[in-house]
Structure 1
C-alpha cells in the first residue's frame, strides 16, 4: 500500500473510534438506502483493517437502531 501515510491512517482510525456512537439522537432516521450504503462503507473500512470488527459491529448496531 504505497502512498499511504500511516500517521494519517492512525489519526483517521482514532477519529472514527472516538466518534462512533456520537451522532445526535435528535437527527432524523436515515432511509434504508443510506443505511445500507453506510454499512457497506464501514464493512470496507473493516476489511481494509482501518477499523476493527468490534468497531464495525458497534456502528452496524447504531445504524440499524438495535
Structure 2
C-alpha cells in the first residue's frame, strides 16, 4: 500500500461517480442520498421493485 501521508483527498467515488468532497452540508446531503439508494437497493433485493427500477432510480438520484 502506498504511503498517503500528507496527501489531500478532495474527491471520492460515490456509486461509480466521482464527486468532490464538499462542506458539512454537502456531506450530510451525500449521506442522505446514500441511505436513500440503499433503501431502494433493499427493495430490489427483496423483490418489491425490479433491478431495472432500482437502477433507474439510482441514476435519477445521482443525476446521471
Q: Which has the higher contact order (CA 8 A, sep 6+)?
A: 1
Do residues 53 (structure 1) and 51 (structure 2) align?
A: yes
Taking structure 1 as the reference length, the TM-score comes to 0.54
Deviations 1:11-61 (A, max 9, x none): xxxxxxxxxxxxxxxxxxx81011100010000000000000010000000
Larger strand proportion of the pair: 2
Paired residue for 1:65?
63
Superposed CA RMSD in Å reads 1.4
Considering only CA atoms, is the larger Rg found in Structure 1 or Structure 2? 2
Task: Give aligned pairs, total.
Answer: 37
Taking structure 2 as the reference length, the TM-score comes to 0.55
Runs of at least 5 residues in structure 1 that lack an aligned partner in the other structure:
1-29
Larger helix proportion of the pair: 1
Within 1, Cα distance between the matches of 2:62 and 2:49?
A: 18
Query: The residue matched to 1:31 in structure 2 has which SS?
Result: helix
Within 2, Cα distance between the matches of 1:31 and 1:65?
A: 14
In the TM superposition, structure 1's runs of 4+ consecutive aligned residues that sit over 6 Å from their partners are: none
